[in-house]
Amino acid sequence: MVMGLHLLLLVFILGLGLTPPTLAQNDIRYIRFLEEHYDPKTRNGNDRYCEKMMRLRNMISPCKGTNTFIHGNKESIKAICGTENGESYNGNKRISKSAFQVTICKHRGGSPRPPCQYRATAGFRNVVVACENGLPVHLDESIFRP
């Protein structure tokens, strides 16, 4: 039994050594991207939504100036990094071919310390992301395309 646990631990450690550090780092950056910008449950965020989400996502110490929440599915967002739902934009960025429902939360001003107050703007926008290894890792902007 002890021998089996040692063997399992050895296989696990070897597996960690074989995982490329950049892949692990990109996974962390992708997870962070989702934490900051992904919310599939809401469709039309209002001011109270922004204040709640910014607090839940720990973006209020200090108050973050602007943050965009994308209300879509992960696969469609990831597809921006490929040709299925994305195309090259301004060098190394990608812009979505389709519009996503988004809520943009802007700090109303005043003190950068909590309690933070936000104004929401909801609508459909194309999003611009930076990708690494086929995953979005940074939301650059959202663009209204008529």
Q: Which residues belong to the active site?
A: 37, 138
Q: Which amino acid is at 133?
A: N
- For β-strands 118-132 and 93-96, DSSP reports them as antiparallel
What torsion, rounded to 10 degrees, do the Cα atoms 118, 124, 125, 129 define? 80
3-class SS at 99? coil
Q: Which of 135, 122, 117, 118 is nearest to 69 (CA)?
A: 122
Rounded Cα gap, residues 121 and 102, in angstroms: 8
